[in-house]
Amino acid sequence: MKVAIFNAAGAVGARIVETFHLSGSPQPVALAATPAGLSRAGRFAVSLRLVDPRSAESLRSALAGCSALVFSPAEDDDPNRLAEVATALAQVSAEGAIRRLVMLSDAAPTESKGGAKDDAKPAPPGGFTGTRSAALAAAEGILLGIGGDQLPLTIVLRTGPIYGARAPAFTELARGLESGDVPTSHGNTPWNGLHIDNLVAAVRAALHAKAPDRRVFNLTDTGDLTKEAFQAAVAHELRAPTAEKSASSPKTTEGRGLRGQGLLAEKQLGYRPSVDLAEAIRRSCAWWRHTRD
Amino acid sequence: MRARTTVTVPRTRAFPGGTIPGILLLGDLTWIEQAFGPALVRLHRDGTARVAAAVTPGGKPAPWMAREFPRLRGAAHLDVLDEPPDTLALIATPLRQRPAKITHALRRGWHVLSACPPAESAAETEKLCELARRNEVSLSVDLPHRLSPWFRWLRLIAGGRALGGCFTFRMEEGGEDIGPGEVPPLGAWLDPGLRAFDLIADWFGGMQPLSAADDALGGVEAVARAEFAMTAGFHGSLRLDRDRRLPPSYLLRCRRGTVHWDSASAKPIRLKFEPSADALVGVLEGPEQDRNGVLAETRELQLRQLFGAVIRGNNPANHATTLLPALAMADQCRRIRSSLPLPWFSANESAVAASLSLHGRAA
């Protein structure tokens, strides 16, 4: 199966290409709007294609030969254009050979208060936090609106903050912890992050699941961990100066995250996280040290 | 301290025979418009040169060309154009086609200004230089950083001005490509690596790579690192990173202090005098500002210098031969490179990556 990944320029898109290629299947086709956006995927002998995401003709050509599409908006994609891109994707996917479309979204509903909802309940109808969230939610609506028995079957994987290799939020956190520039007291604010490798595992599950519902699946791998405890665990792994101030130990994270959130995704998609929280933090910090030094 | 310098544009000169030199555009016209558009328009309007022809898809000029150069002739193929000798061909085709197009242009007696680099290796570029010499035309390369004020200013520091002799440096690049984008992209050793190698060669002289490593796994590298031993007797390091795309950053340690310039506009250049705690902090105009004007001026200056050199019959400052040390360094780094560790991979991924990198190196 050939899977088109757009936008391969972002941290998540790049990691999906990396993981799919290194595991041998499915066969990734990296799409980006600019040649520079293909530099991460270009490290591998994979198919690289330029695409103008707002042009149906360009999308048709870029998706040629692919039977599935992962729509992963990059961190710096213009929110004002996401709905337009989603409309073009919906149109081209519906008329072409795309049988499954997986959209990755970090839209944060205002009612969730940062917490992952029990995804057996419908997503809240209320507003979304920030322009990007609102734009992502609109894009979700457009893609899920491909109705009835019409292909492609659309699945939305909605996450909180993504952490791991190249994720901008994690880069900012690691840099801040090392320089002492991040506030360390967040009370009991839940973290609800998702490691990038677990997101890739969820994408793989969504691509292969038999007859799942067209809907939004919420995902997190940090369980009921608070933001403060997550930061403390990262600081501990990085041996950052801020780690001394916290009483956190590696045991806080061991075995966490392998079950507990994203229950519907586990049940309907067969999703299983690929790393527990301790390993997720280890890999994330290993990437940061490699990049920083 | 405010090291802001204005680029001075020389007086307009007449071309041999009193004619106005023609310019032919070939390759990625979007990149040409972005990089050279303002310079071409100015030269065309003030009568220094005439943008005469372009090779475009279907032979139809792009809207900006039709607007700015109404008499421009479009052609779908280079063969169709019959521009006279001494025309300047501005070539920005994908790198794999570039040497063939440059060869074609040089054989027709046209001068060439090529996007960087003219060819993938030093040997291939040397052949093109030789062809240009035989055909008595010039082959120059787009290297606008050499004419930027920040380059000249840091060059003085590297040369021992203000802080004494340099004894180590650390350079980081990756924020911006130096040539037109293409698919598949060029490896980081070439873009932006060549700019970094060119800076090092120009500021510090001869060098030998002690180590080089990159992350290519069957494709082209996005991240690369190298350590150098300079002929002058000190060491330095280079890091090319298209993963993070940070703006260029240069750290030079000299006998009487250090200079650190992170070209992101928010961070000023910092000169620290040691052993005292005195420091000078100022602003250097870097790529951020370049994009808003200075780079357009340096590109215009580049074209004017090229025409001036043609009139005088000597090589322009950006002649392709001057890029050979940088190209040779990129060649050497690619020859000796090992694989960078990728510690965020799973055990399985690391095993596959190891076999891919071994396979890639063997190939």
The answer to whether residue B278 scores a pLDDT higher than 90 is no
Domains and CATH numbers, chain B: 16-144+296-324 (3.40.50.720), 146-290 (3.30.360.10)
β-bridge mates for residue B114, sequence order? B91, B141
Contact between residue B304 and residue B42 where contact means Cβ atoms under 8 Å apart: no
Which phi-psi region, left, alpha or beta, contains residue A166 (left: φ > 0; alpha: ψ -120 to 50)? left
What is the pLDDT averaged over residues A269-289? 93
Q: What is the helix, strand, coil percentage profile of chain B, to 5?
A: 40, 25, 40
The first and second tokens of residue B292, run together, are 């808003």
For A47-61, A166-180, B266-280, B299-313, which range has the lowest pLDDT when averaged over its residues?
Answer: B266-280
Q: What's the mean pLDDT when you consider all of chain B?
A: 86
In whole angstroms, give the CA distance from residue B210 to residue B236: 10
Neighbours of A265 (CB within 10 A): 24
Q: Where are the beta strands (DSSP E) in chain B?
A: 22-27, 50-55, 73-75, 88-92, 111-114, 139-141, 166-173, 207-214, 223-230, 235-241, 249-254, 257-262, 269-273, 279-282, 338-339
Query: Residue B345: pLDDT above 50?
Result: yes
Give percent of chain A with pLDDT exceeding 70: 83
Q: With cut-offs at 50, 70 and 90, classify the pLDDT of residue B360.
A: low
- Over residues B164-188, mean pLDDT: 89
Please tell me whether residue B64 adopts helix, strand or coil conformation: helix
Does residue B295 register a pLDDT over 50? Answer: yes
- Look at residue B129 in the predicted model and tell me its pLDDT: 97
Say whether pLDDT at A4 is over 70.
Answer: yes
Task: Looking at the structure, give the CATH architecture of the domain made up of residues A2-161+193-219.
Answer: 3-Layer(aba) Sandwich (3.40)
Higher pLDDT pick, B160 / B210:
B210
DSSP state of B293: I
Instruction: With cut-offs at 50, 70 and 90, classify the pLDDT of residue B288.
Output: very low
Question: Per the CB < 8 Å rule, is A274 touching B348?
Answer: no
Q: Is B352 on the interface with A (CB under 8 A)?
A: yes
**Which of A35, A41, A197 is opposite residue B181, by nearest beta carbon?**
A35
Q: β-strands A215-219, B166-173: how paired?
A: unpaired
Give mean pLDDT, residues B172-186: 87
Whether omega for the bond prior to residue A168 falls within 30 degrees of 0, making it cis, is: no
pLDDT tens-digit readout, A198-221: 999 999 999 999 877 888 998 888
The mean pLDDT value for A102-126 works out to 61
CB–CB contact A287 B177 (8 Å): no
Q: What is the mean pLDDT of residues A41-69?
A: 94
- pLDDT value at residue B12: 45
Of B245, B343, B348, the CB nearest to A290: B343
Q: Which residues pair with B89 in a beta bridge?
A: B24, B112
- In Å, how far are A232, B198, B307 from B314, measured between CA atoms? 64, 21, 10
* Cα–Cα dist A198/A205, whole Å: 10
The 3-state DSSP class for residue B162 equals coil
When the pLDDT of each residue in chain A is averaged and rounded to a whole number, the result is 84
pLDDT digits (tens, 9 = 90+) for B202-255: 999 999 999 999 999 999 999 999 999 999 999 999 999 988 777 888 899 998
Q: Averaged over A38-61, what is the pLDDT?
A: 94
Does position A185 have pLDDT exceeding 60, yes or no?
A: yes
Chain B interface disruption, residue of A39, A58, A179, A196, most B CBs within 10 A: A39
Q: Is the pLDDT of residue A56 over 70?
A: yes
Tell me the mean pLDDT in the region B75-88: 91
Summarised one tens digit per residue, pLDDT across range A249-267 is: 545 555 555 554 557 888 8
Domain boundaries of chain A, sorted by first residue: 2-161+193-219, 164-192+223-260+274-292
Beta strands at A2-6 and B338-339: parallel, antiparallel or unpaired: unpaired
Residue B334 has pLDDT above 60, yes or no: yes
Q: What is the pLDDT of residue B363?
A: 41
Mean pLDDT score, B56-79: 90
Q: Is the pLDDT of residue B36 over 70?
A: yes
Q: How far is A114 from chain B (nearest CA, A)?
A: 27
Q: Which of B185, B344, B345 sits opposite A35 (nearest CB)?
A: B185
